[in-house]
């Protein structure tokens, strides 16, 4: 297990999602300022979605987690496995507006990528976002993902198609980053 203490604020953790997270997730997702994720679920729809998580994990389709900040639910993060190329996963996340600009999404991405590379044995992890989503661009770049291109009409949001930036990190880049960190921290003689 790789120590992430240098990356993760002590107040942030992730845990498997629970059906009783539905109320909180609905509050976050139905916020009028939450514009880059057009799904606005009802409480019943969210409960149904969350009740499928165990099956999705067992089938290696999705691995979804609740983000906890200072003992409160701050959002969610997950990895969706590409079913045609199972060595590739895509990270998605959402954060409550009250917790924006605190580094929570970046920490959650670091935690979920550890799961992706170490437990799910992924070779590549991607993050996609609408170019206007500056917060998500910052998260990807802060977490050392490389922008690989602009995909035309890749994301459907709010009734129309949008282009998307594609960011990615390879497993070898992930491990190289930890080697550099250890070197800079004086672990190598």
| pLDDT 10s digits, 45-86 | 999 999 999 999 999 999 999 999 999 999 999 999 999 999
For residue 1, the model assigns a pLDDT of 38
Half-sphere exposure of 14 (CA within 13 A, CB side): 26
Residue closest to 25 by CA, chosen among 70, 91, 78, 62: 78
Q: What is the rounded CA–CA span in Å between residue 4 and residue 178?
A: 9
Residue closest to 143 by CA, chosen among 158, 127, 155, 157: 127
Mean pLDDT of 96-106: 94
Mean pLDDT of 141-150: 96
- CB contact set of 13 (below 8 Å; sequence gap of 6+): 67, 68, 111
DSSP conformational letter for 131: T
- Burial per residue of 47-56, b for 16 or more beta-carbon CB atoms within 10 angstroms, e otherwise: bebbeebeeb
For residue 175, the model assigns a pLDDT of 87
Mean pLDDT of 162-182: 84
81 or 38: whose pLDDT is higher? 81
Mean pLDDT of 120-124: 97
For residue 39, the model assigns a pLDDT of 82
For residue 188, the model assigns a pLDDT of 45
For residue 15, the model assigns a pLDDT of 97
Q: What is the rounded CA–CA span in Å between residue 79 and residue 114?
A: 11
Q: Average per-residue pLDDT in the chain?
A: 89
pTM: predicted TM-score of the whole model, two decimal places: 0.87
Q: Which helix (H) or strand (E) holds 105?
A: helix 104-114
186 or 171: whose pLDDT is higher? 171
**Cα-based distances in Å from 147 to 11, 55, 135, 156:** 29, 32, 15, 20
Kindly tell me if the per-residue pLDDT of 136 is higher than 70: yes
């Amino acid at each position: 297990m790789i120590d992430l203490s240098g990356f993760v604020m002590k107040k942030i953790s992730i845990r498997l999602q629970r059906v009783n997270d539905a109320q909180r997730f609905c509050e976050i997702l139905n916020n009028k300022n939450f514009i880059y994720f057009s799904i606005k679920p009802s409480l019943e729809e969210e409960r149904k979605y969350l009740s499928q998580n165990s099956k999705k994990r067992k089938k290696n389709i999705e691995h979804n987690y609740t983000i906890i900040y200072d003992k409160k639910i701050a959002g969610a993060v997950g990895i969706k496995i590409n079913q045609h190329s199972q060595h590739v996963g895509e990270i998605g996340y959402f954060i409550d507006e009250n917790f924006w600009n605190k580094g929570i999404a970046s920490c959650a991405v670091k935690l979920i990528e550890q799961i992706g590379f170490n437990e799910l044995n992924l070779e590549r992890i991607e993050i996609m976002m609408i170019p206007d989503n500056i917060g998500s661009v910052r998260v990807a770049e802060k977490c050392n993902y490389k922008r690989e291109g602009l995909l035309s009409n890749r994301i459907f949001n709010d009734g129309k198609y949008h282009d998307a930036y594609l960011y990615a990190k390879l497993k070898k880049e992930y491990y190289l980053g930890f080697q550099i960190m250890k070197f800079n921290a004086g672990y190598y003689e």
